[in-house]
Amino acid sequence: AQSVAQPEDQVNVAEGNPLTVKCTYSVSGNPYLFWYVQYPNRGLQFLLKYITGDNLVKGSYGFEAEFNKSQTSFHLKKPSALVSDSALYFCAVSPRGGSYIPTFGRGTSLIVHP
């Protein structure tokens, strides 16, 4: 069975500082990995994904994520946080074959302080 862990319920960072939102996963074989963002009372928006190739994936709004196979991690990063980045972030993993139903982490609330 596949699983996703987001170990932090909340991450606090000052505006202008770099941010990291952690994600580790467990899945058979090579996974597809995703990050989504959810603003209050809204659906989820796709940020970025890893399929294959370069381990550093760049996505929307200046976010990037690094795929680390040995550590089974896919941490979300941004060099300089904005107050408007404050939202709920979800990591997801999907197997490459079979039912490919994705599994989501429980979400991490990012709060960027002015």
Binding site for other proteins (CB under 8 A): 32, 34, 36, 41-46, 49, 51, 90, 92, 94, 99-102, 104-107, 109
Question: What is the nearest approach in angstroms of other proteins to the Cβ of residue 20?
Answer: 20
Q: How far is the CB of 79 from other proteins (least distance, A)?
A: 23
| Contact partners, residue 50, CB within 8 Å, separation at least 6 | 32, 33, 34, 57, 65, 67, 74
Q: Give the residue among 52, 6, 61 at the shortest CA–CA distance from 33.
A: 52
- The nearer residue to other proteins, 32 or 72, going by C-beta atoms, is 32
Angle (CA) 1-57-20 rounded to 5° is 80
CB nearer to other proteins: give 15 or 88: 88
CB of 55 to other proteins, least distance (A): 16
CA distance 11 to 76: 12
Work out whether strand 19-21 and strand 73-78 pair parallel, antiparallel, or are unpaired.
Answer: antiparallel
Q: Which is nearer to other proteins, 36 or 63 (CB)?
A: 36
Q: Identify which of residues 3 and 17 has a Cβ nearer to other proteins in the complex.
A: 3
Closest approach of Cβ 74 to other proteins, in Å? 14
